[in-house]
Amino acid sequence: MQQKSLLKYKIGFIFIGIFVIVLLFLVISQAQDTKDDTATYNRAVSISNSLNQFINADTATIYIPSTLGQAYISNVPSTISYQKLSSDSYKFCVDYKTSVTDFSPSAVATGIITNTLDGSNQTTGDNEYLYISPDHHKGNNCQIIKPYLLQVQDPLLQVQDPPAPYNSSSNTSSI
């Protein structure tokens, strides 16, 4: 009789042990996914900065490279993809293993800027520059970028036609 009651305790401890091991495995795997996503995010930010600088280097025209290599960007992880869509647009995707969201005022502002308030991991609308948000969804997070040239005109640098010379003969009146 005493052995049967001990057997119940042993079975209970075995179940608790298995539960703890499974829970530990889940925590460790989630930590590794978070670590991988952090590395992916950091590399995506670096690539986006380089790509934005490359595209905006020439102030007269926009050149969209066919590959990241043409923009002198190397060591691109498999979690980041780039595709030239046309002569004036491209698609940039980052694949994450976990989801990170923050419902703070800055996150809402970032969502407005990057068109990602809907909570989906679909491609966002056309953006004018590539911005990698620290908030992301699990899976593929894509942006379609259509850069534009900012035509800033300084009135002091503009060449203007000189005013017409004053002609006194045409401005005479008879008295």
Which pTM does this prediction carry? 0.62
Task: Give the mean pLDDT of 127-153.
Answer: 81
Q: Where are the domains of the chain?
A: 2-145
Eight-state DSSP code of residue 100: B
Beta strand spans in 20-104 (E) = 80-86, 89-96
C-alpha pair distances (Å), 164 with each of 39, 92, 155, 158, 172: 64, 54, 20, 18, 17
Query: Is the predicted pLDDT of residue 171 greater than 60, yes or no?
Result: no
Segment 67-91, tens digit of pLDDT: 999 999 999 999 999 999 998 899 9
| pLDDT of the residue at 90 | 94
The pLDDT mean for the chain works out to 76
pLDDT for the residue numbered 117: 44
Q: Are strands 80-86 and 124-127 parallel, antiparallel or unpaired?
A: unpaired
Burial class (CB in 10 A: 0-12, 13-18, 19+), 50: middle
Check pLDDT > 60 for residue 95.
Answer: yes
| 169 or 26, greater pLDDT | 26
